[in-house]
Amino acid sequence: MLCLRELQRWKPVLCRYGNTGVRSFAVAADEAGRTEGGLVNMENPYREPQKGCVLCDVTVDFKNIQLLSQFISPHTGRIYGRHITGLCGRKQKEVSKAIKKAQSMGFMSVTHKHPQFMKDPNICGIKHLD
C-alpha cells in the first residue's frame, strides 16, 4: 500500500518523461535528511582522499640539486615534461624554474646529470635502455 502511494506521487514525473533510459527519482526528504525508505543525505562514504603529486608537501629550492636532478634526463640533461614526471601544474613549474635558475647560477649542469646522482631512485615514469 505504501508502494502504491509512492508510485502515485512519482506518476506525473514518469508520464512527463516517458519511457526514457534515464529516470530521475526525486524523493522527498524531511528535515533530518531522512527519506521514506531509510536513505540518509550524506557525502559518499567510499570517497578516497585526493591524491597529490610526489612533491605536494615538499619545498623546491634551487640549492637542492639532487632533488632537481631526479627530473632531468641522465643522458642529455633535458627537463622531463609533465606527462613523464606526473607532477601537478604548480610543482612542475616550480621545478622547471628552479632547474633553470640553478643552471644559470652555476649550481647544476645543463648538458648532463651529475654522476653522483645517477644511482638515485627513479621517480619519473621513464625507462632508459641501459
Check if the beta carbon of residue 64 is closer than 8 Å to that of residue 55: no
| Chain-centre distance for alpha carbon 18 | 39
Q: Smallest distance, Å, CB 48 to another protein?
A: 13
Minimum CB separation from another protein for residue 23, in Å? 37
| Contact of 108 with 69, CB cutoff 8 Å | yes
**Shortest separation between residue 128's beta carbon and another protein, angstroms:** 15
Query: Which lies closer to another protein via its Cβ, residue 6 or residue 64?
Result: 64
Sign of CA dihedral 87, 88, 89, 95: negative
Minimal distance in Å, beta carbon 119 to another protein? 10
**Is the CB of 27 or the CB of 110 nearer to another protein?**
110
**Which residues make up the interface to another protein (CB under 8 A)?**
50-59, 61, 63-67, 70, 88, 90-91, 101, 103-111, 114, 120-123
Query: How far apart are the C-alpha atoms of 69 and 112, rounded to whole Å?
Result: 9
Comparison of 10 and 123: residue with beta carbon closer to another protein? 123
Nearer Cβ to another protein (18/49): 49
Alpha-carbon span 108 to 105, nearest angstrom: 8
Cell of residue 13, nine digits: 514525473
